[in-house]
């Protein structure tokens, strides 16, 4: 039975799969896009940065693995960067909403790690920012304590169902 290489070409069943330079470049682009997105850049800026790295006009965030080469006129679009980001996130089993939760969690972890020197020195602003980062992380991951919200009337007491229905008006059966 014939098997395929990662680039789609056929290989012998006894032959090990080999990553082509194109596949290596695509994996590097995924990693670079992920790093830049984690830093908070938009896909336009990411596409420009990756294109500049491909033309040897800028230094990459993610080290280039050996064997990765770029054509002399290499460019990448923001749509291709988005597609690469989706492939990177899809490698981790998750639902669509979880993809962004993971990205935000990674950003929060990086922010909190950068605040550590100030927190250890007792800098009040660093401590305050760290608490906000931890609170945000708890909210996006769903392990923050639920908050209770209560509607009150003019007298400051909780609204009854009758008062609420009077306030919103009659409900038709079409709604």
Mean pLDDT by 10 residues, the chain (175 residues): 70 69 88 87 93 92 88 93 89 64 86 93 93 89 74 77 76 65
In angstroms, the CA 44 to CA 91 distance is 23
Question: Locate tokens 């492939």: which residue?
Answer: 87
- Please choose, from the candidates 150, 47, 35, the residue with its C-alpha nearest in 3D space to the C-alpha of residue 103: 35
- The DSSP secondary-structure symbol of 152 reads B
Q: Which of 77, 36, 70 lies closest to 55, judged by CA?
A: 70
Q: Which residue has the tokens 């596949």?
A: 23
Q: For 38-81, what is each residue's pLDDT tens digit?
A: 888 899 999 999 999 999 999 999 899 888 889 989 999 999 99
Report the percentage of the chain scoring pLDDT > 70: 88
Residues facing 4 on adjacent strands: 10
**Predicted TM-score (pTM) of this structure:** 0.53
């Amino acid at each position: 039975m014939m098997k395929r290489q990662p680039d789609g070409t056929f290989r012998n069943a006894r032959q090990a799969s080999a990553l082509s330079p194109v596949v290596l470049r695509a994996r590097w682009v995924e990693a670079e896009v992920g790093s830049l997105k984690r830093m908070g850049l938009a896909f336009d800026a990411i596409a420009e940065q990756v294109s500049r790295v491909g033309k040897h006009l800028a230094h990459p965030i993610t080290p280039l693995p050996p064997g990765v080469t770029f054509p002399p006129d290499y460019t990448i679009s923001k749509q291709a960067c988005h597609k690469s980001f989706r492939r990177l996130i899809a490698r981790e089993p998750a639902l669509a909403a979880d993809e962004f939760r993971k990205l935000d969690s990674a950003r929060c972890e990086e922010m909190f790690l950068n605040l550590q020197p100030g927190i250890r020195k007792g800098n009040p602003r660093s401590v305050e920012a760290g608490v906000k980062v931890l609170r945000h992380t708890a909210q996006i991951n769903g392990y923050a304590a639920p908050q209770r919200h209560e509607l009150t009337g003019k007298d400051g007491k909780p609204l009854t169902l009758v008062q609420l229905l009077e306030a919103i008006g009659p409900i038709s059966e079409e709604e």
